[in-house]
Amino acid sequence: MAITRFAPSPTGYLHIGGLRTALYSYLWAKKTKGEFKLRIEDTDEARNSEDAVKAIIEAFDWSGMDSDCEIEYQSKRFDIYTKYINQLLEEGKAYKCYMSRDELDALREKQMAAKETTRYDGTWRPEDGKVLPNIPSDVEAVIRIKAPTDDLIEFEDGVKGSMKFTADQVDDFVIARSNGAPTYNFVVAVDDALMGMTDVLRGDDHLSNTPKQIVVYKLLGFDIPKFYHIPMINNPSGKKLSKRDGAMDVMEYKRLGYLPEALLNFLVRLGWSHGDQEIFTLEEMLELFDPSNINKSASAYNTEKLNWLNAHYIKNVSNDRLANDLKFHECEIHGHDKKEMVLDLCKERANTLVELKDAISNILTVPTSYEKKGTKKFVKETTVDMLNSYTTLLQSTKTELHIACDIEAITKPFIEENGLKFPQLFQPIRIALTGGTQAPSVYDVIAILGVEETVKRINTAIEKNFDKEADA
C-alpha cells in the first residue's frame, strides 16, 4: 500500500509537468489501495499567491484527482517544524550560525575563484575542542543542520537506479532562517515523514534536494521513503518546455477546449508506456501503471498527439456530457430540439471543444456575410433560378423530410434532372446557410435547420445577392 503526495508551491499556476507528477502519484496510490494526499507548500510568504492556491485546487477538481484527506497547508504547521528544530538543537544535531551575509558572499567568491564547490565552511559548527568565534551583536542567527562529514549518502531511485552522494555534496544547510522560518528541505522531509509517505514521486529537478532530506530523515529517526525522480517534459526540439510549447496553466487547457481525460491520457504517456497502447481509460491506467516503468529520459511534448487524443474523447463521450462542457465555452445546446443531430455531426470534425462550439455556431447562427471567394466561384447567373427551384422542392416535400437521408433522397434526382454537378448546387447552399464553403454535409445541415429555416436563409442570400455588390 503506497501513500503518495503532490506538494506544489503556490507561487504560480499549476503547469502540466506538475499535473503529470500528480497523476503518477495518484495512480500509484490508487493502484496499491493506498492514499493520495495534496499538500500546499506555502511557507514562502513573500511569493505565495491566493489566486495560485485557488487555481491549483481548481485544476485538481477539474482533472478528477481528489485528495484522500483534507488538504494540508505548511503555513499552518510552523509549530511542528519549530518543535523538531528545537529537538535537533537540544540533541546537538543542529546549531546556530552567526555568519553574516557579507561573510557568506566573501566565502563563496573565494571558493569560486579557487574553482571549488561553493559550500558553507563550518565556521560555527561545534566540534570537540573547537573554539567558536565571538557571537556578533548585529547578526541574527540561522539554524544549520549538522550534516555528515564522511558518510556516503545512498538510495535506490525507482527511476534512475542506484544514487550516491558524497558528504562534500551536502554541507551544513540552513533549516531555519534568521526570522525563524523553516526552509524547504527541512519542512518537506518532516511533512513527508509525519504524513506517512512511503513513495515520493517528483520531478528530477528535485534530485539534488534528496540527499539533504535524507540527512533530515536520519537525524530525526524517520523512515526514508522510496524516491522516484521523473525526467522533465521537453519541447519537440529537446529544449525546456515554454508556454508556446504547452507549459501553461492547467486550466488554460480547459479554456482551450481540452477534456480532462484526454489531457490525463496524454500526460500518462509522456514518460510511461504499456506496449504500443495509446488510449487509456482511467481504469486501465490504474490497472497497468507502475512507476518502475517510468522512462529514464525526458519526454517530448507533442501537440498533434494531444489533439488526436482529445478528438477521440470528444467523439466517444456522451452528447449530454458535451452539452454540459460546452456551457463553459458559452455554447448552450441543451435546449435545441436537434441537439443529438447537431452534436453527432459536429463532433466528428472537432479536435477541441472550442472547435466544436465554432462548428455548432457555424450551423445554428444566421450568417451576416458570405465568403467572397466562394461566392465568386460558385454563385453564377443561373444560381438563383436553381435555388428557387430547389426551395420549392423542399417546401413541397417538407412533411417527408426528417433526417439527412430523406433530403438526399429528393436532392439526387433534382441534380440529375437539372443536369447539375453536386458543387453547383451544394456550394451556393452552404454559403447561403452558413456563410462559407467549409460546412459539413448539406444534407445534415438542412436536416438540423429544418425546411423553413433553410428556405429563409437561402432567400435572404438571394435578396442580398450573396453580397456580390459589396465585392464590386
Spell out the domains of the chain, with CATH numbers in brackets. 1-68+231-316 (3.40.50.620), 77-230 (3.40.50.620), 366-471 (1.10.10.350)
pLDDT at position 468: 81
pLDDT at position 429: 97
pLDDT at position 239: 83
pLDDT at position 410: 96
pLDDT at position 470: 62
The partner residues of 174 in beta bridges, in order of sequence, read: 144
pLDDT at position 466: 92
Give residue 317's identity as a one-letter amino acid code: V
Torsion of CA 351, 353, 355, 357, to 10 degrees: 150
pLDDT at position 238: 82
pLDDT at position 243: 66
pLDDT at position 169: 85
pLDDT below 50 — which residues of the chain? none
Contacts 24+ apart (CB under 8 A), 118-127: 119/168, 119/171, 120/144, 120/171, 120/172, 120/173, 122/171, 122/172, 123/97, 123/99, 124/95, 124/96, 124/97, 124/98, 124/99, 125/95, 125/97, 125/172, 126/92, 126/95
Label each residue of the chain as H, E or C.
CCEEEECCCCCCCCEHHHHHHHHHHHHHHHHCCCEEEEEECCCCCCCCCHHHHHHHHHHHHHHCCCCCCCCEEHHHCHHHHHHHHHHHHHCCCEEEECCCHHHHHHHHHHHHHCCCCCCCCCCCCCCCCCCCCCCCCCCCCEEEECCCCCCCEEEEECCCEEEEECHHHCCCCEEECCCCCECHHHHHHHHHHHCCCCEEEEEHHHHHHHHHHHHHHHHHCCCCCEEEEECCEECCCCCECCHHHCCCEHHHHHHCCCCHHHHHHHHHCCCCCCCCCCCCCHHHHHHHCCHHHCCCCCEECCHHHHHHHHHHHHHHCCHHHHHHHHHHHCCCCCCCCCHHHHHHHHHHHCCCHHHHHHHHHHHHCCCCCCCHHHHHHHCCCCHHHHHHHHHHHHHHCHHHCCCHHHHHHHHHHHHHHCCCCHHHHHHHHHHHHHCCCCCCCHHHHHHHHCHHHHHHHHHHHHHCHHHHHHHC
Q: What is the pTM of this model?
A: 0.91
pLDDT at position 149: 87
